[in-house]
Amino acid sequence: MSFRISLSGMNAAQSDLNVTSNNIANSNTTGFKQSRAEFADVYPTSSYGSSKNTIGAGVRLQRVAQQFSQGTVETTGKALDLAINGKGFFTLSDGGSFVYSRAGNFGTDKDGFVVNPSGQRLQVYQPSASGTGFDTGRVNDLQLQSGDSAPLATSNVGVNTNLPGGASVPVTATFSPTDPTSYNYTTSMTVYDSLGAAHSQSLYFVKTANPNEWQVNTTIDGTAVGTAQTLQYSNMGALTSPSPGRITLPAYTPTTGAAPIAVTMDLSNSTQFGNSFSVAALTQDGHTTGRLTGIEVGSDGVVQARYTNGVSTALGQVVLTNFANPQGLQPLGNNAWAETSESGQPLRGSAGSSEFGNVQGGSLESSNVDLTEQLVNMITAQRNFQANAQMITTQDQITQTVINIR
């Protein structure tokens, strides 16, 4: 009996050493979660019931408990390196089934899908059809498109200027964009057609003989667009007409073959004060085509594609998954887990929401292995093994003594 008890102790110590060795071996593995060997005592059972003098029958490995504490998050600067600060797992597609991981070292495959080193695809919520928010009803593979960002024709222009209250009427009465004596001030901006071609829109401000009244003339690429529009200001310098400060210009047909450019100008923020002419802001809502310059992932898990034309497009929102009992997950290797009946059903959501941590882009979560703790565990397990081995030696000596009695 004593031999079996000591042998069970040696087996338990060996299991402890195996778990500790695996922890130490994975101390530099991204997203690795250390484990702990847990043991239970063994008592013989009898149909006659137990006795207060029952002697234990040894020890057994009860379970290997996974420790899902947070690992250190380290900055890498790589856009597709992702770390989770808090609860949750990345959701990955593995040929029709889902697996889960804390390792966020992602890249792209030949088709532009975002994958981990094992080729499993990162799952995201797709942008909703309405253009706002995300469709949380289903998950999809995240794919990066290498094509250009489509152009957008300018339709709205904002003009924030100050026209001097003491300005004089121009010398030349008939306006001409080529004659500086026929206008007081001018400013220009770039607008875009439906093909993404740039055009120069110029505004010419002309003081009239009427108090607090100006006219604005507009050209695109040197061609007049409509007629002069009257601007009326109050004696406090605020624009009163047109109200609410918007002027819709006739469509301009570019020579590029693009659709006509129909622009509405908003001058509601323009003023007529006593100081000099100034342009505080010129804005427009169009843009040319753009090449992909990079990917950025926010703390909410939203993946943004950024283009050279200044446009940012949401490609999806990283899906995080949590479980009622993460320790019930089945380790699969390659930094992945699978759900089991013990883990409970997967609970999906987005970063920063209830029960989920934040996503940190350009970073990776290190292993949560504490090497100092593991070295202490190793020494303890080694001592336990040696002590149980010594017990076997002692029992052997006792047995030999009994055998040698004459």
- pLDDT score of 48 more than 70: no
| 156-284 has CATH 2.60.98.20 classification | yes
Q: Residue 46: what pLDDT?
A: 62
- For range 343-367, the mean pLDDT: 94
Digit-coded pLDDT (tens) for 65-85: 999 999 999 999 999 999 999
Picking from 149-158, 159-168, 379-388, which range would have the lowest pLDDT averaged per residue?
379-388
Report helix, strand or coil for 210. Answer: coil
Q: Which of 65, 172, 122 is nearest to 295 (CA)?
A: 122
Q: Residue 385: what pLDDT?
A: 84
- pLDDT score of 403 more than 90: no
* pTM exceeds 0.85 for this model: no
Domain spans of the chain, in order of start: 2-68+371-403, 73-144+319-365, 156-284
Average pLDDT, the chain: 92
Going by pLDDT thresholds of 50, 70 and 90, the confidence category of residue 252 is very high
Q: Residue 254: what pLDDT?
A: 95
Q: Residue 47: what pLDDT?
A: 57
- For range 242-247, the mean pLDDT: 94
* DSSP string for residues in 254-301: -TTSPPPB--EEE-TT-B--SS--EEEEEEE--B--B-EEEEEE-TT-
- For range 223-251, the mean pLDDT: 96
Torsion of CA 33, 39, 45, 50, to 10 degrees: -130
Q: Residue 7: what pLDDT?
A: 83
Q: Residue 92: what pLDDT?
A: 98
Digit-coded pLDDT (tens) for 99-114: 999 999 999 999 999 9
- Could you give the CA distance from residue 122 to residue 141 in angstroms, rounded to a whole number? 6
- pLDDT score of 337 more than 60: yes
- For range 226-241, the mean pLDDT: 96
Side chain identity, residue 232: Q
Q: Residue 37: what pLDDT?
A: 92
Picking from 6-20, 140-154, 175-189, 298-312, which range would have the lowest pLDDT averaged per residue?
6-20
Give the tokens for residue 401: 């003594």
Q: Are 344 and 323 in contact (CB under 8 A)?
A: yes
Q: Residue 1: what pLDDT?
A: 59
Q: Residue 347: what pLDDT?
A: 95
